[in-house]
A and B are shown apart, each in its own frame.
Chain A
Amino acid sequence: MSGTAREQALTTAVLAAVPGALLVVARGGVIRFCNRAAESLFGYDSGALAGESVDQLVPAALRESHARLRAAFAGQARERTMGGGLVVAARRHDGSEFPAMIALKPAMLAGESVITALVRDVSEGVESEQAMRGYADSLSRANAELERFAAAAAHDMNEPLRAIAGYCALALDHSAGPTDAQVRRWLEQARDGATRLRAVVDGLLRHARSAGAALAVEPVAADAAFANVRSDLELLIAQSAARVTHDPLPTVQADPALLEQLLRNLLANALQYRGEAAPVIHLAYRRHAGHHVFALSDNGIGIEADAHQRIFEIFGTLPARSPGTGVGIGLAVCKTIVARHGGEIWVSSVPGAGATFHFTLPVRDAARPEP
């Protein structure tokens, strides 16, 4: 064998051994060379592809545009990588199709300008991507459905609740005699029960809303938001002789209504789970690692370590000190609100010596929309 013949044999052997489908296409679309992997990928017998038009390897419907694109590519003669390219439809000899990614590179071969192409079957990747997308779609549909259900259920429960509370109140207004004292007490219990359940139902509705409604993120002065919340809870603060203070607070990117609800729920929680002493509540602030970190500490009854996760679940509340005050949704709402803003919420506590609720909000550029 001559040196040239040996080199040629080596080249052919190397090309045949390339772990991938390789095609060499001349101007005009004629396949000058292909390796065995390419033949088997497209379902051709050995030697059956060389000399054929590359346009056969695309679905009939795309042939015309493929020929046009091919001519344009030959004119530009630049490299296109496999990862950067799009997934295109490829056609096997038997007419079946598969998604493919194709890397193209112009080259000179024996004085002729050609395009080398590496073709990869990406069926599996496409299928798993479709499966993932389908899963995500069904999950978001299920979530939306659940939110609608919660909102509808909350509305439908309110009507009978109004009936119970309303008729009890009516009966109370009309029963004034001393013999009715026991009946009056029962009616009061029923009315108060309905009022408590009403709070639960409204809480559920708020929870469904806080999870479902679109976020309207804008710059919010946290000190103004906290001042609003304090005035909302003024009566409760005055009744418990609580001292409520805060550090200088920043302007944050948040949904103003949801931020106030978050602060309101946390402050109400601190006032509710008070100890024997008058509540001392402080909202601390620091900036850490690209996050606003808020911490609302109280001197209340505190929370056992094994409940630190559970309290953020719906109805995961501690037994309330006075009956009927623990609604069990407030902290779940807090968790949802913080998560929707891209932050985290957690609690640290020494039982008997108070609790601190920490939450973070990412420091965001005002101009940049919600991710």
Chain B
Amino acid sequence: MTAGNGTGFAPVVLVEDSPSDRELACEALAAGRLANPLLTFVSGEEALAALAARSPGEAPPVLILLDLNLPGMSGRELLEVLRRTPSLAAIPVVALTSCDDDHDFLRGEGLPVDAYLTKPVTPARLFAAAARVERLASGLLTRPRVR
């Protein structure tokens, strides 16, 4: 697990096994307007362990960016566990995919996710998704623009 900047704000969680996708997402989000700290996990197991071990006072993540193709516990399996765990069920989830084309395909599956986002993860894509889905926007914090 990689901790974010420790601002005390509720974090955005990224579950992604590809090191380059992870680093590029971190760089892009750090350079953009997103003020929430970013917590990254390399596997579903690691993410689940950290989320379950959260102390009662700690704010839950504002949303989870979830790669669906994870080795070990797949993104779909993690999603299923999240949705049936009362303390985690309400966290919005954005599924990360490789191609735009995957979205229609996955919508057909009826996965319990709030939105789909084609990688790479960028602030622009994240805020665009949040503009479409109100539930995603509620916890996202933006940095004031530096003049």
Question: Which A residues lie at the B interface, using CB under 8 A?
Answer: 154-155, 158-160, 162-163, 165-167, 170, 173, 202, 205-206, 209, 257
State the interface size on chain B (CB cutoff 8 A). 15
Candidates A154, A160, A166; contact of B120 at CB < 8 Å: A166
Can you list 28 A-B contacts (CB < 8 A)? A154-B98, A155-B69, A155-B98, A158-B98, A158-B99, A158-B119, A159-B20, A159-B21, A159-B98, A160-B20, A162-B24, A162-B120, A163-B18, A163-B20, A163-B24, A166-B20, A166-B120, A167-B20, A167-B24, A170-B24, A170-B27, A202-B99, A202-B100, A202-B101, A205-B99, A209-B101, A209-B105, A257-B104
Question: Given the complex of chains A and B, what is the CA–CA distance between A206 and B101 in angstroms?
Answer: 7
Question: Given the complex of chains A and B, what is the CA–CA distance between A209 and B100 in angstroms?
Answer: 13
Q: Which residues of A contact B24 (CB under 8 A)?
A: 162-163, 166-167, 170
B125 → chain A closest CB, angstroms? 13
Per-position contact with A for B87-107: 1 when CB-CB < 8 Å, else 0?
000000000001111001100
* B99 in contact with A154 (CB, 8 Å): yes
Tell me the nearest residue of chain A to B105, going by C-beta: A209
A197 → chain B closest CB, angstroms? 13
Question: Given the complex of chains A and B, what is the CA–CA distance between A162 and B98 in angstroms?
Answer: 9
Question: Given the complex of chains A and B, what is the CA–CA distance between A163 and B31 in angstroms?
Answer: 17
Q: Which residues of B contact A165 (CB under 8 A)?
A: 120
Candidates B18, B31, B105; contact of A159 at CB < 8 Å: B18
Question: Which B residues lie at the A interface, using CB under 8 A?
Answer: 18, 20-21, 24, 27, 31, 69, 98-101, 104-105, 119-120
Q: Which residues of B contact A166 (CB under 8 A)?
A: 20-21, 24, 120
Nearest 9 Cβ contacts at the A-B interface: A163-B20, A166-B24, A158-B98, A155-B98, A202-B99, A162-B120, A159-B18, A166-B120, A205-B99
Interface of A is mostly: helix
Question: Given the complex of chains A and B, what is the CA–CA distance between A43 and B32 in angstroms?
Answer: 88
B37 → chain A closest CB, angstroms? 20
B24 → chain A closest CB, angstroms? 4
Question: Given the complex of chains A and B, what is the CA–CA distance between A257 and B101 in angstroms?
Answer: 11
Tell me the nearest residue of chain B to A163, going by C-beta: B20
Question: Given the complex of chains A and B, what is the CA–CA distance between A154 and B104 in angstroms?
Answer: 17
Q: Apart from A155-B98, A158-B98, A159-B98, what 18 extra A-B contacts exist at CB < 8 Å?
A: A154-B99, A155-B69, A158-B99, A158-B119, A159-B18, A159-B20, A162-B21, A162-B24, A163-B24, A165-B120, A166-B20, A173-B31, A202-B99, A202-B100, A205-B99, A206-B101, A209-B101, A209-B105
A345 → chain B closest CB, angstroms? 22
Q: Which residues of A contact B120 (CB under 8 A)?
A: 162, 165-166
A267 → chain B closest CB, angstroms? 19
Q: Which residues of B contact A163 (CB under 8 A)?
A: 18, 20-21, 24
Question: Given the complex of chains A and B, what is the CA–CA distance between A159 and B18 in angstroms?
Answer: 8
Question: Given the complex of chains A and B, what is the CA–CA distance between A162 and B99 in angstroms?
Answer: 11
Q: Which residues of B contact A209 (CB under 8 A)?
A: 101, 105
Q: Which residues of B contact A155 (CB under 8 A)?
A: 69, 98-99
Q: Which residues of B contact A173 (CB under 8 A)?
A: 31
Candidates B20, B21, B101, B104; contact of A205 at CB < 8 Å: B101
Candidates B100, B101, B104, B119; contact of A162 at CB < 8 Å: B119
Q: Which residues of B contact A202 (CB under 8 A)?
A: 99-101
Q: Which residues of B contact A159 (CB under 8 A)?
A: 18, 20-21, 98
* B20 in contact with A162 (CB, 8 Å): yes
Tell me the nearest residue of chain A to B100, going by C-beta: A202
Question: Given the complex of chains A and B, what is the CA–CA distance between A257 and B98 in angstroms?
Answer: 20
Q: Which residues of A contact B20 (CB under 8 A)?
A: 159-160, 162-163, 166-167
B99 → chain A closest CB, angstroms? 5
